[in-house]
Structure 1
Amino acid sequence: MKKITLLFLLILSQAIFAQTKLTETQKLVATCKVWGYLKYYHPQVAGGKTDWDKQLFDVLPKIEQANTKEEFSLVLENWIDSLGEVKEIAPIAVPKDIEFFDKNFDLSWINSNKLFSTSLSKKLEFIENNRFQGEQHYVTFGRGGNVILKNENFDKLNYSEKNSRILALFTYWNVIEYFFPDKYLMDQKWDKTLDEMLPAFIEAKDEEAFYIAFQKLTVKLNDSHAVFYKYGGKQKYIFPFKCKIIDEKMIVTEITSDELAKVDDIKIGDVIIKYNDKTIKDFIAENRNLINGSNEASYLSILMRFGLYGYSDTAKLEFLKEGKTITRTVNRYDYQTVNKNEDKKVKQEEKFKMLENNIGYVNMGTLEVKDIPVMIEKLNVAKAIVFDIRNYPNGTGQDISNFLNSKERKDILFTKPDSTYVGRFKWIGPRPCGTENKNNYKGKVVVLVDGESVSQSEEMTMSFQTADDTTVIGSQTGGADGNVSRFEIIKAFFTQFSGIGVYYPDKRQTQRIGIIPDIEVKPTILGIQQGKDEVLDRALQFIENGK
């Protein structure tokens, strides 16, 4: 009986040990959080008194050897103790004139992490209450409030080394954790993304695998501003035309080089139903974890901008013409060749003009600040002005807003990081726009938008909406506004994301939602084939009949 009991206890103890033994992912996920937290909160680290990257490399072997919760917590506690004493300070007063935006802020993991001992959690909590209050060593903040990394040494990292990949992931994850204003809007919790993506970074032993892992990571932000790219590398090729996705088909909407498009007899209105033997529906689906987008409209727009790039100078396209399918191998060209021709076309476009029935039209993608006085002189007599922002403007918003508004108004409210309590954001604004102007424009203002309208385009639309008689026509915009934070994560590998939160003055959300038009209009395949601009046509109809 005793032998049976001993055997049972032995089996039970082995089962308990097997249950409590920690996985590599569990340990690294927790280490990532602690490393980032100490980087911005511990006085010795946030103050720049230690080489924090080297500290991580030194502790990783000890983390790897820890098998149980107790061993793991002890490694982290000893690590924290080795950094030096954290002096207890007087309670940090919260300024009375600051209103915090706390949807992003959550340090509950300090006390709820199942891998942490009680004493480790208490140490981390003590550090929060006595956190660093000086100038951060690793981050500063731009003029607009977005985070800027400093004192990082990414040149020494090499994606072929496991520890370098771990450091790159830890750095990026914590920058987003503490400084991405729209973290609360992600489809998936950022904690879960770390848990999912860490194994991919550990296994990414070549450049392509590392690149794809980082692409997938940035896509999890659900931010049209977010990208990951590498300078140099293999040559990519693009088509000499642009497309839009309508009804799960690719429609040619613009020829960027007449000469090059003629080689393959490509015309505006051509309908493409397969790209490299994949249906457009499948093409859309397979790129969702590789192409960024705040919303569906933005994703499809960005997919058509970058998803058609390729390493081959040809691609196989299947066209639908008069009810029949035609498959052709179509040429692609290097970016410089196509862009040279496109630049010529852009320069020839009119910046503003008078349409029939005394209606003004302004192409915001080509209008420059120096053009505004003449534009005002020519169009001030128009009964209505259409501002086409289905493009990216050139910093002309303030001057035009002054022209449109009769007095100063408020257009945007921001959320920006609080440098004294890293991870928290505060409301800033609202921002004034317009000015006292008795000679302001008195006619109707119509703004055209679509999925190509993003960032400055959206901010400008919000400004124009403050005018006395403004109507927005078109479709959902890109849903990514505010200043962009950019940084190098490993030498020649760059990334960016939306750096500040942007809201209407009444705190209505714009990130991911974009600007919702007053009148929704989307191009149709038939309209494109007939050479119509259905969004502009709808605007002209509205101007004439008011509906």
Structure 2
Amino acid sequence: MNKIQLFLFALLFSFNSISQTNTQSNLITYGQVWGFLKYFHPKPSKMDWDQVLIKDYDRLKLCGSQDQFDQILDDLISTCGDYKPKKRNIEEYLLFTESMEWLENSSISIRHREELNRLFKNKPKFKNAYISKGVFSDNPKLKNEINYPEGHKTEAIRYLVITRYWNIINYFCPNRTIIPQNWNEVYAEQLPRFIAAETAQSLELCIRYLSSTIKDGHGFLGNKSGSAIDYNYLPFYCSNLAEGTFIDYVKSDSLKNYSIQRLDKIVSIDGLSIENYWTELSKRLAASNDYYAQNSTFYFRQTLKDSVTITVERDGTLITETLHATKEIGLFPKGAVFQNKRKTGFYIDSISNISFGYIDMGKFKRKNITKRFKDSLKQVDHLIIDSRNYPNWTIFALGRTLIKEKTVFAQFRKMNLDFPSAYVYEEARKIGGARKGYEGKVYILVDYMTMSQAEYTVMGLQQHPNALTIGGQTAGADGDVSPIPMANGNKVFFSGLGVLYPDGTDAQQAGVKRDIELARSFEDLKNLKDHTFQATMELIRESKE
């Protein structure tokens, strides 16, 4: 290829790159304007607003100049027509100012920017057809959103799906300010993947990657028809500890005898270091914090391959082996017990002879708060409340048994659905009100399994004057969930309420406050030891001294 040919090729490549960049920029800006009008102008609530975007998609793809793009925006805004302005005076401290940063985009003309700003400051009062309050907790309820079947087959639908999600999170996510990545950058980063996702499987993966960016353990994907992705599963369980990731259990199979063993330390999978493997996995996980993500070992087992090559370390020696994946989601043999499980009840410690109560919040119900239970409670000075599970709405009934003084234990950050991007603070219900209250010490056990209602329950029980919270970081996903319809039957969720401590500390992402932080160690795994429970028992024994 001579110099002239090289120059022409480079020039053509440059033009194509610029064209693709401009097209993406136009798609992003149009999607942001489209979403803004959907929630701020009354006209989109009276028409099929999805179809406006779908019909404009081809125009956007063929758009070759700024003038042409300005005309598309002109037509979009003109479709909405006039409105009855209402002067708004929302206090800035009650606004997610980040939600409107996109309006400073250089590809929006000054004229359009002024017009949209005017609507923002004078949003009319109207009943929006696409958003309302949830029944129980005022979390955002999405309405009249079509979940497009076979949406992966139409490029414009895929563009609509990501644009719908981006705008809903931008205006109605109460945890908008603690999303770690710039939300405008997320749109730009994820859009090309959606445009290219031409199969049901690739579209589902795109949705998973997108929802993981908000760092919300409630951001899971659901589909009544099941996943479009036919996952296989690695034939072992593992535990991620401070010392590394270790094999916890290997499936017994008479047809395949693997040399990997329990307690082997995983070094790499298919040549990817274990650290990078976790990093890649976290990009498609609904997780509020790294601790939760790195304990999501069920997802660690998922693979699209029939087999993987694993390298483990045992006694300083590296062992590499090919493992065949299985369709079995669960591997444990029936009746297997890997950790001592206690039942709710009252016990005497065999070492110190101290009596204590134990509540398994995953099985404990309001009907269990009987006279006999209360009488037994009076006889012990120590009560362990194990919240490493999902409770049964026993928070207030238990609070009326244990806590004397009525105390506000949390506040909610709710979205102001009349003015997208604005929010209000509201105190949650108080806990307590017992005639006398429990006067002993309360030990609340937590870990990454403490999630959502469990975290809310812990926040309430922490109001006991003698409460001590012990364990690892909790899931950091609290507040009722709001589902967003997407495509192919997929819907993706987010935390529709922000839950904070009375002092304003966010429980989202950070999890509940802990007095003693503990994490599982290799020795705990080796000895099948419940370190958090054992540490609590040591505290109880020390109280005798």
Q: TM-score range by the shorter chain?
A: 0.7 to 0.9
Q: Name the CA distance, whole Å, in 2 between partners of 1:354 and 1:181.
A: 43
**Deviations 1:154-173 (Å, cap 9, x if unpaired)?**
23561121101000011111
Q: CA deviation at 1:285?
A: 2.5
In the other structure, the counterpart of 1:3 is: none
Q: Name the CA distance, whole Å, in 2 between partners of 1:320 and 1:487.
A: 44
Q: Name the CA distance, whole Å, in 1 between partners of 2:50 and 2:336.
A: 44
Amino acid at match of 2:219: A
The structure 1 residue matched to 2:131, chosen from 127, 131, 139, is: 139
> Does the CA contact (< 8 Å) of 2:216 and 2:286 recur in 1?
yes
Q: Name the CA distance, whole Å, in 2 between partners of 1:439 and 1:247.
A: 43
Q: Name the CA distance, whole Å, in 1 between partners of 2:382 and 2:423.
A: 40
In the other structure, the counterpart of 2:364 is: 367
- Flag the 1:345–1:250 CA change in 2: closer, same or farther, 3 A: closer
Partner-residue secondary structure (3-state), 2:60: helix
Q: Name the CA distance, whole Å, in 2 between partners of 1:404 and 1:360.
A: 13
In the other structure, the counterpart of 2:244 is: 249
In the other structure, the counterpart of 2:179 is: 186
In the other structure, the counterpart of 1:43 is: 42
Q: CA deviation at 1:425?
A: 1.1
**Deviations 1:87-126 (Å, cap 9, x if unpaired)?**
334x2466xxx9963246542443x221122221222123
> Does the CA contact (< 8 Å) of 2:471 and 2:532 recur in 1?
yes
- Flag the 1:92–1:337 CA change in 2: closer, same or farther, 3 A: closer
2:519 is equivalent to residue 522 of structure 1: yes
- Flag the 1:162–1:501 CA change in 2: closer, same or farther, 3 A: same
> Does the CA contact (< 8 Å) of 1:473 and 1:518 recur in 2?
yes
In the other structure, the counterpart of 2:417 is: 419
In the other structure, the counterpart of 2:280 is: 286
In the other structure, the counterpart of 2:382 is: 384
In the other structure, the counterpart of 2:30 is: 31
2:503 is equivalent to residue 510 of structure 1: no
The structure 1 residue matched to 2:141, chosen from 114, 133, 148, is: 148
Q: CA deviation at 1:318?
A: 4.7
Q: Name the CA distance, whole Å, in 2 between partners of 1:183 and 1:527.
A: 38
Greater alpha carbon shift after TM alignment, 178-187 vs 98-107: 98-107
Q: CA deviation at 1:367?
A: 2.1
- Flag the 1:201–1:56 CA change in 2: closer, same or farther, 3 A: same
Q: Name the CA distance, whole Å, in 2 between partners of 1:391 and 1:99.
A: 39
> Does the CA contact (< 8 Å) of 1:99 and 1:426 recur in 2?
no
Q: CA deviation at 1:26?
A: 0.7
In the other structure, the counterpart of 2:301 is: 308
Amino acid at match of 2:495: S
- Flag the 1:497–1:375 CA change in 2: closer, same or farther, 3 A: farther
2:354 is equivalent to residue 354 of structure 1: no
Q: CA deviation at 1:237?
A: 4.5
> Does the CA contact (< 8 Å) of 1:100 and 1:426 recur in 2?
no
Q: Name the CA distance, whole Å, in 2 between partners of 1:254 and 1:349.
A: 22
Partner-residue secondary structure (3-state), 2:239: strand
Q: Name the CA distance, whole Å, in 2 between partners of 1:38 and 1:529.
A: 58
In the other structure, the counterpart of 2:392 is: 394
In the other structure, the counterpart of 2:430 is: 432
Q: CA deviation at 1:294?
A: 1.8
Question: What RMSD, in angstroms, separates the aligned Cα atoms of the two structures?
Answer: 3.5
Q: Name the CA distance, whole Å, in 2 between partners of 1:445 and 1:131.
A: 51
- Flag the 1:347–1:341 CA change in 2: closer, same or farther, 3 A: farther
In the other structure, the counterpart of 2:450 is: 453
Q: CA deviation at 1:310?
A: 3.1
2:404 is equivalent to residue 406 of structure 1: yes
Partner-residue secondary structure (3-state), 1:208: helix
Q: Name the CA distance, whole Å, in 1 between partners of 2:227 and 2:454.
A: 29
Q: Name the CA distance, whole Å, in 1 between partners of 2:438 and 2:336.
A: 32
Q: CA deviation at 1:394?
A: 2.3
- Flag the 1:407–1:200 CA change in 2: closer, same or farther, 3 A: same
Amino acid at match of 1:162: E
Q: CA deviation at 1:151?
A: 0.9
- Within a 5 Å distance, the mapping from 1:265-284 to structure 2 comes to 269=263, 271-275=265-269, 278-284=272-278
Q: Name the CA distance, whole Å, in 2 between partners of 1:448 and 1:464.
A: 11
Partner-residue secondary structure (3-state), 1:461: helix
Q: CA deviation at 1:63?
A: 2.9
In the other structure, the counterpart of 2:231 is: 236
2:110 is equivalent to residue 118 of structure 1: yes
Greater alpha carbon shift after TM alignment, 335-344 vs 281-290: 335-344
Greater alpha carbon shift after TM alignment, 354-363 vs 69-78: 69-78
Q: Name the CA distance, whole Å, in 2 between partners of 1:254 and 1:450.
A: 21
Q: CA deviation at 1:349?
A: 5.9
Partner-residue secondary structure (3-state), 2:59: helix
**Deviations 1:266-288 (Å, cap 9, x if unpaired)?**
98755444445544223213323
Q: TM-score, normalised by structure 1?
A: 0.85
In the other structure, the counterpart of 2:462 is: 465
Among all aligned residue pairs of Structure 1 and Structure 2, give the percentage whose two residues are the same amino acid: 24
In the other structure, the counterpart of 2:49 is: 52
Q: Name the CA distance, whole Å, in 2 between partners of 1:229 and 1:129.
A: 37
Q: Name the CA distance, whole Å, in 2 between partners of 1:330 and 1:487.
A: 38
Q: Name the CA distance, whole Å, in 1 between partners of 2:259 and 2:495.
A: 40
In the other structure, the counterpart of 1:209 is: 202
The structure 2 residue matched to 1:175, chosen from 168, 179, 186, is: 168
Q: Name the CA distance, whole Å, in 2 between partners of 1:352 and 1:266.
A: 39
Amino acid at match of 1:386: I
Greater alpha carbon shift after TM alignment, 242-251 vs 165-174: 242-251
Greater alpha carbon shift after TM alignment, 372-381 vs 282-291: 372-381
Amino acid at match of 1:114: S
- Flag the 1:116–1:223 CA change in 2: closer, same or farther, 3 A: same
Q: Name the CA distance, whole Å, in 2 between partners of 1:515 and 1:107.
A: 31
- Flag the 1:268–1:533 CA change in 2: closer, same or farther, 3 A: farther
> Does the CA contact (< 8 Å) of 1:42 and 1:132 recur in 2?
yes
**Deviations 1:174-226 (Å, cap 9, x if unpaired)?**
11111111121122110111111112211222223322222221121112221
Q: TM-score, normalised by structure 2?
A: 0.85
Partner-residue secondary structure (3-state), 2:303: coil
Q: Name the CA distance, whole Å, in 2 between partners of 1:237 and 1:411.
A: 44
Partner-residue secondary structure (3-state), 2:127: coil
Amino acid at match of 2:301: L
Partner-residue secondary structure (3-state), 2:483: strand
Q: CA deviation at 1:376?
A: 3.9
Greater alpha carbon shift after TM alignment, 508-517 vs 242-251: 242-251
Q: Name the CA distance, whole Å, in 2 between partners of 1:371 and 1:238.
A: 39
Q: CA deviation at 1:447?
A: 0.8
In the other structure, the counterpart of 2:6 is: none
Greater alpha carbon shift after TM alignment, 191-200 vs 112-121: 112-121
Partner-residue secondary structure (3-state), 2:141: strand
**Deviations 1:48-71 (Å, cap 9, x if unpaired)?**
211101111222233334333333
Q: CA deviation at 1:299?
A: 1.4
Q: Name the CA distance, whole Å, in 2 between partners of 1:332 and 1:376.
A: 51
Unaligned runs of 5+ in 1: 1-14
Q: Name the CA distance, whole Å, in 2 between partners of 1:340 and 1:500.
A: 40
Q: Name the CA distance, whole Å, in 1 between partners of 2:322 and 2:440.
A: 51
